[in-house]
Amino acid sequence: MEQTLEKALRIYFIMGSQNCKQDPVSLLKEAAKAGITAFQFREKGKGALTGSPKLELGKKLREVCWEHQLLFIVNDDVELVDKLEADGLHVGQDDRSVQEVRDEFPEKIIGLSVSNSHEVDESPIELVDYLGAGPIFGTTTKPDAKKPVGIEWIQDLREQFPTIPLVGIGGIHVDNAASVMEAGANGVAVISAITDSVNVTHTVRQL
Ligand code: 3NM
């Protein structure tokens, strides 16, 4: 990656086949052409693929990211990091510990989700490359999402960590994305804003 991580995380599209009404590969191609800057393969939850179909889909999505020089991050699944030659790994609070993944992948980009100060206090922030803060707004995409924390959480994190790359996640759409950036985020991470869009090109450009 030639550009800085802050810049690469600006429009961070996350999805797995379970989020898509259409073919995930075509959707990613369309979003990539329209200007997303990073992608996270998050094959997780109800209806998600496992085993070799998951790996095969991951390979196709990985190809698209290579073609468009997009950052390619995998969610949680450490097994896929090397198999898909991912640029990095994103972990939540209930996934593998940051220390473990940092030991296993010293050179990869590691992202961590944080929803409150307690999680921040309990996490080795110095070992991660970026933070995902959320859910900022209400979301129905992740059934076990915590309560929305609002853009104040971005402001708090930015104050506490002035230089760490930071993305907001959860319920972010075209009409509220600017408020997340104005609060101090480097980027917006979205699922349904793009997977549910009737005009992906237009939505990505507006984001
Ligand atoms: N993580 P949408 S919220 C995957 O708060 C995910 O950590 C969240 O989907 C968190 O953009 C979320 O459709 C779902 O709201 C984001």
Would you state the pLDDT for residue 2? Answer: 55
Domain over 5-206 is classified CATH 3.20.20.70: yes
Q: How confident is the model at residue 95 (pLDDT cuts 50, 70, 90)?
A: confident
- Determine whether 113 is an active site residue: yes
Q: Taking all residues of the chain, what is their mean pLDDT, rounded to a whole number?
A: 97
CB distance 165 to 6 below 8 Å: yes
Domain positions in the chain are: 5-206
Kindly report, residue by residue over 24-66, the tens digit of the pLDDT.
Answer: 999 999 999 999 999 999 999 999 999 999 999 999 999 999 9
Distance 171 CA to ligand 1 centre (A): 7
From the CB of 19, is ligand 1 less than 6 Å away? no
pTM of the model: 0.98
Token duo for residue 95: 């996934």
- Measure 60 CA to ligand 1 centroid, in angstroms: 23
Catalytic residue from among 17, 113, 123, 197: 113
Query: ipTM for the complex?
Result: 0.99
Give the whole-number percent of the chain exceeding pLDDT 70.
99
Interval between CA 169 and ligand 1 midpoint (Å):
5
Cβ neighbours of residue 75 under 8 Å, at least 6 residues apart?
Answer: 14, 16, 40, 41, 42, 43, 44, 89, 90
Choice from 20, 141, 167 to test ligand 1 binding pocket (greatest atom count within 8 A of CB): 141
Question: Contact 92/110 with Cβ under 8 angstroms?
Answer: no
